Amino acid sequence: LGYYIGVIKNTLKGLDILPDWSNIVELLTDGILYSIALFILLLILSLPVIVLLIGGSFFIVGEIIGYSSYSDLWNILSFLSILAILLLLYIVVTSLVLWIYIPLATVNFAKKGFFGFFKIRDILKKISLEYIGILLLYTLFYGIYSLISPIILKIILAIFFLTLPPIAILVLLVALLIESIVIFVLGIMFYRAVAKYYREKELKN
C-alpha cells in the first residue's frame, strides 16, 4: 500500500518514474497510516450494521422468551426477513460508495496527508463521469483477468501433472509469483490513472 502511495505522489508531481525502494521507511510509514485511515473508514461504515445486529438480537431474544403462539413465530420470521433485506441493501450501497470514494480518497491522502483521506467535500467535487469511466474500465479489465487467469492456470497445471508431475509444484509457485506481480502492476496502472485524473482536475481549478 505504501508503494502505491509513492506512485501517486510521483504522478501528482508530474513524474513518470516509480518510487525508489531505497526510501523504504517513508513507504512503510505511508502504508501503515493509510491502512489505519482505511480501517477507521470501514469501522465507521460498519457501525449501522453492528447496531442493526445488536438491536435485532435483542428483539429476537425478547420474542423467543415471550413465545406463545404461531403469530410470535411469524413476527420473528418477518423481522428476520426485513433485517436481512436492510443489511443487504446497506452492504450494496456502501460497497458502491466505497468503490467510488476510496480511489480518490487515496490520492487525497497522498497529497494532503492522513486527514486528506476524510476530506469528503474535496473528494466529492472531483467525482465526474470521466472518473466513473476510469473505475468501470479498470474494474472490467480486472474482472476479465480474474476470470481468465484461473482457467489458464488450471490448464497449465493439468498438463504438467499429466506429463511432468515432479515439477508441477514448482510451476504452481512460479505461476502464483507471476500472478502477484501482475496484480501489483495492475494496481500501479490503476492508481497512476486516478492520480493523473486528480492532477488534471486540480490544474483546471
Structure confidence by residue, pLDDT tens digits, 113-172: 889 989 888 888 888 898 999 899 998 988 888 888 778 777 877 777 777 677 777 777
d(CA 97, CA 78): 29
Tens of pLDDT, residue by residue over 18-66, are 777 777 888 899 899 999 999 999 999 988 888 887 877 776 666 666 6
Whole-structure pTM value:
0.78
Report how far residue 87's alpha carbon sits from residue 80's, in angstroms, rounded to the nearest whole number: 10
Range of the domain at 83: 2-204
Structure confidence at residue 149 (pLDDT): 79
Q: What is the DSSP letter of 125?
A: H
Closest CA to 117 of 131, 96, 103, 97: 103
pLDDT at 202: 80
Per-residue pLDDT, 71: 60
Burial status of residue 65 (CB atoms within 10 A of its CB: 0-12, 13-18, 19 or more):
exposed
Average pLDDT over residues 66-73: 60
Least confident range of 67-71, 77-81, 87-91, 185-189? 67-71
State the total domains in the chain.
Answer: 1
3-class SS of residue 22: coil
The pLDDT of residue 105 is: 93
What backbone torsions phi and psi does residue 69 show, to the nearest 5 degrees?
-155, 175
Q: Residue 41 has what pLDDT? A: 92
